[in-house]
Amino acid sequence: MTERDAAADETTGATPPASYAAAGVDIDAGERAVELITPHAKRASRPEVLGGLGGFSGLFALKGNYREPVLAAASDGVGTKLAVAQAIDKHDTVGRDLVAMCVDDLVVCGAEPLFLQDYIAVGKVVPETVAQIVAGIADGCVEAGCALLGGETAEHPGLMQDNHYDLSATAVGVVEADKVLTPDRVRAGDVVIAMGSSGLHSNGYSLARKVLLEWGHMDLFGHVEEFGRSLGEELLEPTRIYARDCLALIAEADVRTFAHITGGGLAENLARVIPQGLVAELERNTWTPAPIFALIGQRGRVEQLEMERTFNMGVGMVAVVAPEDTDRAQAVLTARHVDNWVLGTIKRSTDPKSTEAGSRVSLVGEHPRF
C-alpha cells in the first residue's frame, strides 16, 4: 500500500486489506523458529531416521533382527507445569518433561523408545522461545535414546494469549511379542523396587499452584531454604527419564513389569499392573518424600490420601522383579545412579475374587521425618 493509499483509507475510513499477519499469524516468525530448532532436531536422531526436517511426515526404517516386533505408542503432555515455566520465562526444561511422560509410559511394557513427534501450540510464535522448548525436547530424546522425528508448531491468535503455549507428543517404541511385560507375569513373592523421583515430575501442578501460589502467595523467584534454590527452580525440576534404566534392568534381571507413577499416584498406577488375586503390600517407612511434598501438604493442609492420589510422593517408577533377582536389579540401578530401594512385596489377596483396583495395592506405616 502506498502512502497515498493509506492516506485515502484514513480519509474515507476504508478498511485496509486483510492479511494473515494482521490476523495474528506470523509465517516469517514460524520459518525463523524452524531455522532455530533444526540443529536441535539433528542431534536427537538415530541411524534409522530417513531424511530430515521439512517433509510432510517423518520416516523411520524399522531395522534390526526382530522376530515378531510389536509397536507401542504413548501420547502425553506436560500439564499446568507449563504455567510455572511461562510465569518465570524459563522454557528450556519442559521439553524434557514432555519426552519423559511419553517414553516412561512406553517402557512399562518393555518397549524401547524409537522416535517422538511433538506438537507445540502457541498464542504467538516467538522463535527464541520455541527454540528453547525444542532444545529441551531434544535433550530428553538424547537421554531416552530415541529420535526427534518431527513435529508441528501452530500459532493460535485469539484462542491463546501471546505468551502462552501448550505441549503434547507421541512416542513410538518396539518390543518383541514374547517379551512384552504384562500383569500376568506377576507372581506372589515378587519384590517391588522403587526408583526415586526427581520431584513432582509433571503431575499435580494444579494443586501445587493453588496451595503455594494462590493461597500461600509464595514468590516463584524467592529462595526456599529447604530446597536450596528458588521455588520456581524447584517446581521446574525436570521429570526423570527412566527409559534406558528400565531397559538395562530388563537385560540383566527377571523383570515382571513396571509402573510409571503419574497422575493417580503410587497406588492407582501400580494397581494397573497387578493381576486379580494378588496385592502389592508397600511400606511407607522405607522412604521419606522430598521437602516439596511436605511443603504442599503442610501449607494446604492436604490430607495424606489426597497427597498420595495426586503426587508421586518421591517414587517415579516401580519395578516388580523375581525375588531371586532383587540384589541384581538394585545393583544395576545403583550403577546407573538411580536412587532405589525395596518398597514391598507381592502377596496373595485375602479377597482373591475382588475385581476392585483399589484392593490390589496396600500402603502401610508412616514415612519417617515427614
In this predicted model, what pLDDT tens digit does every residue of 305-344 receive, in sequence order? 999 999 999 999 999 999 999 999 999 999 999 999 999 9
Pick the range with the lowest mean pLDDT from 3-7, 117-121, 169-173, 321-325: 3-7
Residue type, 224: V
- Which pLDDT belongs to residue 86? 97
Residue ranges of the chain assigned to CATH 3.30.1330.10: 26-47+68-176
Point out the least confidently predicted range of 35-44, 137-146, 175-184, 201-210. 35-44
Neighbours of 2 (CB within 10 A): 7
Report the C-alpha gap between 182 and 166 in whole angstroms: 32
Distance CA 51, CA 147 (A): 12
What is the rounded distance in angstroms from the CA atom of residue 212 to the CA atom of residue 216?
A: 5
What does R_g of the chain's alpha carbons equal in angstroms? 24
Contact yes or no for 220/213 (Cβ under 8 A): yes
Q: Map residue 76 onto helix, strand or coil.
A: strand
Q: How far apart are CA 198 and CA 240, in angstroms?
A: 6
Instruction: State pLDDT tens for residues 25-62.
Output: 777 776 776 777 677 777 888 888 887 666 788 888 98
What's the mean pLDDT in 148-160? 91
Answer whether 194's CB lies under 8 Å from 333's CB. Answer: no
Q: Please determine, looking at this structure, whether the domain spanning 183-364 carries the CATH number 3.40.190.10.
A: no
Q: Which one-letter amino acid corresponds to residue 132?
A: Q
Residue 326: the pLDDT is 97
Query: Does the pLDDT at position 1 exceed 60?
Result: no
Q: Is the pLDDT of residue 175 over 90?
A: yes
Q: Which CATH architecture has domain 26-47+68-176?
A: 2-Layer Sandwich (3.30)
- Which pLDDT does position 127 carry in this prediction? 85
Residue 195, strand partner residues: 317, 340
CA distance 80 to 85: 9
Q: How far is the C-alpha of 308 from the C-alpha of 314, rounded, in Å?
A: 10
Residues 336-361 have a mean pLDDT of 85
Determine the length of the chain.
370
If we measure between CA atoms, which residue out of 192, 120, 150, 133 comes closest to residue 360? 192
Residue whose entry in the numeric block shows the C-alpha cell 530415541:
146
Beta strands in 156-296, from DSSP E residues, in sequence order = 165-176, 191-196, 223-224, 229-230, 255-260, 278-283
Which DSSP category does 222 fall into? S
Nearest to 41 by CA among 146, 149, 186: 149
pLDDT of 157 > 50? The answer is yes
Strand order in the sheet with 147-155: 69-77, 165-176, 112-122, 147-155
Q: Where in the chain is the domain with CATH 3.90.650.10?
A: 183-364
One-letter identity of residue 194? A
- Helix (H), strand (E) at residue 119: strand 112-122
